[in-house]
Amino acid sequence: MTADTRAGGMATRIAKLDDRALVAISGRDAEKFLQGLVTCDVAGMRSGEARFGALLSPQGKILFDFFLIRVAEGFACDIAASAREDFMRRLGLYRLRAEVAIGPFDPQTGVYAAWNGNAADCEGIVVPDPRLPALGWRLYCRRPPDGLAGDYAAHRIASGMPAGGVDFAFGECFPHEALMDLNGGVSFVKGCYVGQEVVSRVRHRATARSRFVMVSAEAPLPPVNTEILANGAPAGRMGSSAGGAGLALLRLDRAAEAARAGSGLFAGALPIRARIPAWAAFDWIDEGR
């Protein structure tokens, strides 16, 4: 379900995210419990504030990515619906003696995204998307707005923002590859959390050779996980796409080498172009310079 409202002459697009679900995390120890587990800093979050983060494996790979929203009872966690049950079970394994309750959030509350214009009012919580201003807002509403259709997936792709469970499988991608070190998803000043040593080592050694980038083609891009070739050698794989625009996890050095050689990149048999999102502070790794 999607909607369109008008504010200041600009259309606000609102889409219901049916692939998202909510988890409630509450109890006296909820903040301390999460602070020692997840990549984002949750200490001192104000009511109605949102943070983007992940729960990693001990090897530093993303098991779940999510939004945490501070609510009166503790935290609401906006997560991929397909991962909710596994996420709650995983948190339960870490709970031990902590006074923390974990379960589904209010089942009548839906997850929405709004972008362009102003965020629409709703019976619930409206927070700016903490990853990137252009992505707009996250809305947690009991009653959906009415109106016109919009395509949030296409908007996210056009913004150059990868998403777990869509562009990459959970358990297969490091936070730096998914740009979480650049979109606020990782705190480098908080204390320890699961997988923190790996994330810190990649940052300090500047060893992130693979990153999600934006790709485009003159024809519809192939499906997720289609292999990308540079100079005839594997250089990455496709993420999600909308027509001729998409995302891809790409080896930065191999893409730079192909560009220097003039051989280009191919997703399957389709020639593609790659560029770094304007908001992402990294560059191609050209070892031939």
pLDDT at 8: 43
pLDDT at 7: 39
Instruction: Count up the domains in the chain and report the number.
Output: 2
Statement: residue 64 has pLDDT above 70: yes
pLDDT at 10: 62
CATH number at residue 249: 2.40.30
39 and 150 housed in the same domain = yes
DSSP letter at 132 equals -
Give yes or no for a contact between 42 and 68, defined as CB atoms under 8 angstroms apart. Answer: yes
pTM listed for this prediction: 0.92
43 and 153 housed in the same domain = yes
- 288 — pLDDT class (breaks 50, 70, 90): low
By the 10 Å C-beta count (0-12 exposed, 13-18 middle, 19+ buried), 237 is classed as middle
Statement: residue 267 has pLDDT above 60: yes
Query: Which range marks the domain in which residue 79 is found?
Result: 2-158
142 and 22 housed in the same domain = yes
Statement: residue 1 has pLDDT above 60: no
6 and 143 housed in the same domain = yes
142 and 261 housed in the same domain = no
Q: Last residue of some domain: 129, 158, 187? A: 158
Q: Residue 106 contacts by C-beta under 8 Å, 6 or more apart in sequence?
A: 22, 24, 142
Tell me the residue type at 228. I
28: tokens are 């006296």
pLDDT at 3: 41
CATH number at residue 62: 3.30.1360.120
Tell me the residue type at 130. P
Taking Cα atoms as reference points, which of 26, 19, 27, 23 lies closest to residue 104?
23
Distance (Å, rounded) from C-alpha 221 to C-alpha 188? 35
**Arithmetic mean of pLDDT, 49-65:** 97
Strand partners, 266: 229, 271
Q: What count of Cα atoms within 13 Å lies in the side-chain half-sphere of residue 174? A: 20
Judge whether 13 lies within some domain: yes
Distances (CA, A) of 281 to 52, 85, 144, 224: 18, 35, 36, 25
More confident residue, 286 or 260: 260
Distance (Å, rounded) from C-alpha 36 to C-alpha 192? 6
Phi and psi torsions of 237, nearest 5°: -150, 155
Q: Residue 129 contacts by C-beta under 8 Å, 6 or more apart in sequence?
A: 50, 52, 113, 135, 136, 137, 138
Residue-wise pLDDT tens digits, 78-137: 999 999 999 999 999 999 889 999 999 999 999 999 998 777 678 889 999 999 999 999
Strand partners, 21: 79
Residue-wise pLDDT tens digits, 126-182: 999 999 999 999 999 988 765 546 799 999 999 999 999 999 999 999 999 999 999
Judge whether 214 lies within some domain: yes
Phi and psi torsions of 219, nearest 5°: -140, 165
Judge whether 200 lies within some domain: no
113 and 22 housed in the same domain = yes
Give yes or no for a contact between 203 and 176, defined as CB atoms under 8 angstroms apart. Answer: yes
